[in-house]
Amino acid sequence: MKCVAYFRTANREDNYTSLLIQMEMIKDFIAQNNWQLDSVYADIGFGIDMNENLHKMVEDAKQGKIDVIIVSDPARISRNPDYLSNIFRKLREQNKVHIVTVDNQINTFLNNNIL
């Protein structure tokens, strides 16, 4: 299973700390599930246009390079629920990519409903 993590912070002042916290949360989650992390995508900034690596991750998922995406919480992808739901729904329905957030707001292994 190709498992990837996505990290994002909009906080330019303390971006390193924020990314480290997210990374530790996701590493612990992966270890608890006996998964292996294949790769990491990370962005610093805010707004849809700033998330270059998010777009790359979505493209990689569409090309079958990813089986599961792990994120600390849905807001790391977007605070816009329509945008978030659209991305996750397309990846799940069209590409069979599972999405899991460490906070368990989203876990398509347990429930196919996305937001």
Residue 49 has pLDDT above 70, yes or no: no
CA distance 111 to 57: 22
Tokens matching residue 57: 């991750």
- Convert the pLDDT of each residue in 61-96 to its tens digit: 999 999 999 999 888 877 777 877 888 788 888 888
pLDDT given at position 27: 92
pLDDT given at position 48: 56
pTM listed for this prediction: 0.84
Backbone dihedral angles phi then psi of residue 92, each to the nearest 5 degrees: -75, -50
Instruction: Set out the domains of the chain in order of their start, with CATH numbers.
Output: 3-101 (3.40.50.1390)
Q: Which residue has the tokens 């480290």?
A: 20
Q: What percent of the chain has pLDDT over 70?
A: 89
> Do 106 and 99 form a contact (C-beta atoms < 8 A)?
yes
pLDDT given at position 115: 47
CA distance 67 to 78: 20
